[in-house]
Amino acid sequence: MRDPAAKGLGALLGDSVRHAADLVGGEFELLRRETDGNIRAILGLVAAFGTASLLVLAALMLFVVFLVKGLGALLGSEVAGALVVGGPFAVAALVLLVLGMRRMSRENLAPRRFERQVARDARMATRPRD
């Protein structure tokens, strides 16, 4: 015959395991809900930021068209106005292109910090111990 105290202990252990599993399950459900809410909020912010960016870009394009038309009226030729307005944009685009190409060179993309850290770790590992 089984000892009543052992049966009580087994029931207590079973209950504690079941409650712990319920607690872990509840924690994971809370994590899932919180993560879902955060993802929805981030997607909403990305949509708002994207819309604002498009509106700013459209406003800038209208401003550039206004400048070209205005300078064209002052200079007597829209071609001259387009050259005056578009010239700095072309120069800026060329400078950014050159800087980007330099930045993307193979030497600049090498993982220098990683290489230094591995060399430092190798020196520490092979250093004679006192």
Which residue in the block uniquely carries the two structure tokens 């685009």?
93
pLDDT of residue 10: 82
In angstroms, the Cα distances linking 5 to 9, 10, 11 are 6, 9, 10
46-81 pLDDT, tens digit each: 999 999 999 999 999 999 999 999 999 999 999 999
Neighbouring C-alpha atoms within 13 Å toward the C-beta of 59: 6
10-52 pLDDT, tens digit each: 888 888 899 888 888 888 888 888 888 889 989 999 999 999 9
Using the predicted structure, report yes or no on whether residue 2 has a pLDDT greater than 80.
no
Return d(Cα 64, Cα 72) in angstroms, integer: 12
pLDDT of residue 56: 97
Return d(Cα 18, Cα 24) in angstroms, integer: 10
Name every residue whose Cβ is closer than 8 Å to that of residue 81 and which is 6 or more positions away in sequence.
Answer: 67, 68, 69, 70, 71, 72, 73, 74, 75
